Structure 1
């Protein structure tokens, strides 16, 4: 598994899919779920969803975009 994840770092196409499609979509879904949890009365769990997993997906997207840019500049 680590081998395949390590190989993902060398393919700009995979990083494009992760950085511009998958991670932002997951961040949006988790943020919407957290927002609806807050509106529904589950404030603590909703805030946890807004602050932890959504931010992880956002930073992962930024990481993938930066690695993709670095790979394209090297080629």
Structure 2
């Protein structure tokens, strides 16, 4: 499991994947709200966007702990 979560993978997750997916879900939530799918739009905005925000924060903190440790990669 540690080989899958090396510094390069965590960098990609923290700085590329989670921000892009968070932005896409936020836009989809707004589009759903504007097209009268209010409940699903709010679910996208509140739940899914927050999942990607916390995922990015987790990956950033995990990456930071690995870069402070000399055996990160």
Aligned partners of 2:7 and 2:38: how far apart in 1?
Answer: 39
RMSD of Structure 2 on Structure 1 (CA): 1.0
User: 1:19-70 CA distances to partner (integer Å, 9 max, x unpaired)?
Assistant: 0000110010011000111111111110001011110011000000000000
Aligned partners of 2:63 and 2:57: how far apart in 1?
Answer: 10
Is 1:23 the counterpart of 2:4 in the alignment? no
Residue number in structure 1 paired with 2:61: 66
1:41 aligned counterpart, secondary structure:
coil
Give the structure-1-normalised TM-score: 0.87
Is 1:8 the counterpart of 2:4 in the alignment? yes
- Displacement over 3 Å in runs of 4+: none
Is 1:44 the counterpart of 2:39 in the alignment? yes
Aligned partners of 1:18 and 1:8: how far apart in 2?
Answer: 12
